[in-house]
Amino acid sequence: MQVLKEDIRGRILAVAEQRFGQQGYSKTSMREIAGAVGVGVGNIYNYFRNKDELFCEVVRPVLHAMEAMLQEHHGIRGEDVMTMRSEKYLKACIDEYVSLIETHRSLLEILLFRAQGSSLEHFRESYTDRSTGLVKAWFAAMKKKYPNINTAVSDFIIHLHTVWMFTLFEELLMHAVPKQEMESILHDYILFEIQGWRAIIKV
């Protein structure tokens, strides 16, 4: 029975991902998903309390990936500022962005373009605000470690750093940039970004 339940849950998630991807959150109904799965609409509520919970579960893998990326750069696992001078850091950033898009392309599209009406509609804004706070805390920690670096950076510049990241992702997705070309674009973009930060921070 448990296997059957998990099978139904998996089918609900698969159909929901397809419909959310095609129509967006607001234009997709639980009744429509139930019909495509082949279960009664009431049965879906045995697995998910409401459409929003189902939507959040569908995009959970990309949410986890975005959170890991945030923590990797400026959170609990934040890199030392001096690593920005290394080729290894540049390559790691490129690989991270390519992996995010290649692994979670369809879910990222749903999250960034089709979440209107859901609790994740303002994900970009909330993520950007959190990122700004984490970067400021990271700067403070780096200033203690390296007193000569410049961390007098406005909140708005830090804010723009994440806004540009989302714009980059959205453009790569909208133009369906293939992996090889994406790597080249990301190399130039991230190099541009790192060199800019290095000039500001003076490392």
pTM of the model: 0.92
d(CA 83, CA 3): 48
pLDDT of 78 above 90: no
pLDDT tens-place string over residues 137-173: 999 999 999 999 999 999 999 999 999 999 999 999 9
d(CA 101, CA 108): 7
pLDDT score for 84: 86
Domain architecture of the chain: domains with CATH: 1-48 (1.10.10.60), 60-201 (1.10.357)
Find the angle CA(165)-CA(173)-CA(107) to the nearest 5 degrees: 90
Is 172 in contact with 185 (CB distance < 8 Å)?
yes
* Residue 77 burial (C-beta neighbours within 10 Å; 0-12, 13-18, 19+): exposed
pLDDT of 76 above 90: no
